[in-house]
Structure 1
Amino acid sequence: MRLCFLVEEHYRHDGMPNEVVRQLKAWGHRVEVLRPGGSLLRMSEAVDAGAHDAWVLKTVSGGPGLTLLEAAAAAGATTVNDARAIRGVRDKALAAAIGRGRGLPLPPTYAAARPELLAQIPASEYPLVVKPADGSSGRAVHLVSSPERLAAMLPELAGEGMLVAQPYVPNSGTDLKVYAVGGELFATERRSPLHPDTSVPERLVPLSAEIAEIGARVGEVYGLDLYGVDVLLGPDGPVVVDVNDFPSFRQVPDAAARVARAVLDLARGSGSRPCPEVGSALPRRSGQEMSIPLQATAVTAATAASAAASVVAAAAPAAPTGEPV
């Protein structure tokens, strides 16, 4: 197959997606890597829908790569993920509106074009988490303790463009990251960027039935196939605080081969999901756990979505050495 990866300078030396590109080339596929943030793009000629079987985006949220991906999609090319789905999660204000409207457990979210407008948020909502609406990789995420602290931070926030603010969800200082790849879900835990003094080794952890259902439902709601979900375990249950297209997939077993295989399936049309229809709200359940060992942390996303009360836990299969025909 002929694939085009749009990779921002920020990710030039990252294992993801470079290891995926190497894996695809090792399987005999042609992969072109474009760096839209470091090139002059002649947009009238940049996209040739017939030149590649699929386009793959791995860029920072505010970079120009999504524009090029959307141009490829408009020309009829296959994109990974769907370009409209990526736009829907990269704008965090839009993602919050979509997610809460579809019943995902997201916190209340305020959006402001200018930081001084955040002063209108009631004091009862503090502490707040404030971040850029187009932020990524934990950039410029602030825990704001009070209206007075917000006032002091206005100069620092002035250059960030559209901002979103959410009431802080009390938690242990540990983030749960759920990755979806090839129809499977994996969970890792790691230190929250809001708690830099907390010592949390990043590791693969078992999925509860409730978290697995939320992880699968995120893909349905936003129309994503490869994605990550940041979940906090708050006092009132799990809360989704961020959704990322094409994340790092850190700690996922054989991540490069899994992602490469998922990209090929999506490029061939065998792994893509239809645009999601409006669905019912997520049912709430009380802490049902799956009894699975640490080495068996993958569950199928389809199983989690359709039968969450009895999620099937399956050991993560070893990636084949060759790419299937």
Structure 2
Amino acid sequence: MKLCFLVEEQYRHDGMPLDVIRQLDAWGHQVDVVWPGRSLIRISEAIRAGSHDAWVLKTVSGGPGLTLLEAAAAVGLTTVNDARVIRGVRDKALAAVLAARSGLPVPPTYVAARPEEFAELPASAYPLVVKPADGSSGRAVRLVASPECLLEAGDENAGGGLLIAQPYVPNSGTDLKVYSVAGDLFATERRSPLHPAHTVREREVPLTPQIARIAARIGEVHGLDLYGADILLGPDGPVVVDVNDFPSFRQVPDAVARVADAVLRLARDGARTDAPVAALALEGAR
């Protein structure tokens, strides 16, 4: 098969997806790699119907690669994940609305352009977790104890853009990260970015039926095939606090081979053929 990977500069040394690309090459497939952030792209030549069996995106939120992926989809090429839904999951405000509408357990979500605007929330909403609506990799996630601390949450948002705030979910300091590799689910533990002093051994853990149902439903709601979800085990049960397309798949056994095989299967069979909630919502907004 002939595949095209769009890889952001930030991931130029990362095993995911570079090891996947090497694995596909070792299996005899042709993989072209495009670096959207550091090269001239002759888009009219690069994206031609039939020139690749599938396109795969590994970029940061707001990176230029998503436009290229959407252009490939617009001329009828297969994309992994579905290009129609990636913006919907990368916009954390929109993702929270879609998740809540579909019955997923998510915290109440508030949006503002400046952190001080969250001071209008009642004291019962604090502490708050404040982060950029287009953030990724845990960037600029802040735990805000009270309204008086809100200005500190804006220190790392100098570039502007919307912020989202959600009430803090009390937890042990350990995040549950659940990965889906084209329907195969894996649960792992890692340290919460809000508890940097907490010691956690990153490892694969058993996947309970409840978490498996939630994780599978996330894929249905957002229309994703390769994704990861951050789930907190709060006092009232599991809560979904973040979803990412094409994550790191850390601690997933044989992750490189599994992801490479999933890319080939999705390229051959196409992405989800059902109309996910996210795709319907985005189409309806146009």
Asked whether the equivalents of residues 78 and 270 of structure 2 are also in contact (C-alpha less than 8 Å), the reply is no
Asked whether the equivalents of residues 119 and 151 of structure 1 are also in contact (C-alpha less than 8 Å), the reply is no
1:217-273, CA deviations, whole angstroms, 9 ceiling, x for partnerless residues?
Answer: 100011111110100000000000000111111111111111011101111116635
SS at match of 1:187: strand
TM-score relative to the length of structure 2: 0.93
1:38-87, CA deviations, whole angstroms, 9 ceiling, x for partnerless residues?
Answer: 12334444421221110000111121111110111111110000012211
Partner of 2:140: 140
Choose 107-116 or 137-146, whichever is displaced more: 107-116
Asked whether the equivalents of residues 175 and 231 of structure 1 are also in contact (C-alpha less than 8 Å), the reply is yes
2:121 maps to 1:121: yes
Partner of 2:89: 89
1:111-144, CA deviations, whole angstroms, 9 ceiling, x for partnerless residues?
Answer: 1233333232222211111111111111111111
Partner of 1:215: 215
Partner of 1:159: 159
Asked whether the equivalents of residues 78 and 271 of structure 2 are also in contact (C-alpha less than 8 Å), the reply is no
Whole-angstrom CA distance in 2 between matches of 1:151 and 1:12: 34
Asked whether the equivalents of residues 181 and 226 of structure 1 are also in contact (C-alpha less than 8 Å), the reply is yes
Whole-angstrom CA distance in 2 between matches of 1:110 and 1:267: 37
Partner of 1:233: 233
Whole-angstrom CA distance in 2 between matches of 1:226 and 1:98: 18
Partner of 2:25: 25
Partner of 1:181: 181
Whole-angstrom CA distance in 2 between matches of 1:142 and 1:108: 17
1:271-312, CA deviations, whole angstroms, 9 ceiling, x for partnerless residues?
Answer: 63522369xxxxxxxxxxxxxxxxxxxxxxxxxxxxxxxxxx
Letter aligned with residue 53 of structure 1? D
SS at match of 1:124: helix
2:275 maps to 1:255: no
Whole-angstrom CA distance in 2 between matches of 1:123 and 1:205: 36
Query: CA, structure 1 residues 71+199, in 2 after alignment: closer, same or farther (shift >3 Å)?
Result: same
Partner of 1:171: 171
Post-superposition offset of 1:21: 0.5
SS at match of 1:84: coil
Letter aligned with residue 74 of structure 1? A
SS at match of 1:28: coil
Partner of 1:197: 197
Letter aligned with residue 276 of structure 1? P
Asked whether the equivalents of residues 182 and 271 of structure 1 are also in contact (C-alpha less than 8 Å), the reply is no
TM-score relative to the length of structure 1: 0.82
Partner of 2:272: 272
SS at match of 2:200: coil
Asked whether the equivalents of residues 69 and 79 of structure 1 are also in contact (C-alpha less than 8 Å), the reply is yes
Identity of aligned residues (%): 74
Letter aligned with residue 235 of structure 1? P
Asked whether the equivalents of residues 7 and 35 of structure 1 are also in contact (C-alpha less than 8 Å), the reply is yes
RMSD of aligned residue pairs (Cα, Å)? 1.6
Post-superposition offset of 1:33: 0.5
Whole-angstrom CA distance in 1 between matches of 2:195 and 2:74: 42
Choose 145-154 or 80-89, whichever is displaced more: 145-154
Query: CA, structure 1 residues 142+53, in 2 after alignment: closer, same or farther (shift >3 Å)?
Result: same
Asked whether the equivalents of residues 231 and 239 of structure 2 are also in contact (C-alpha less than 8 Å), the reply is yes
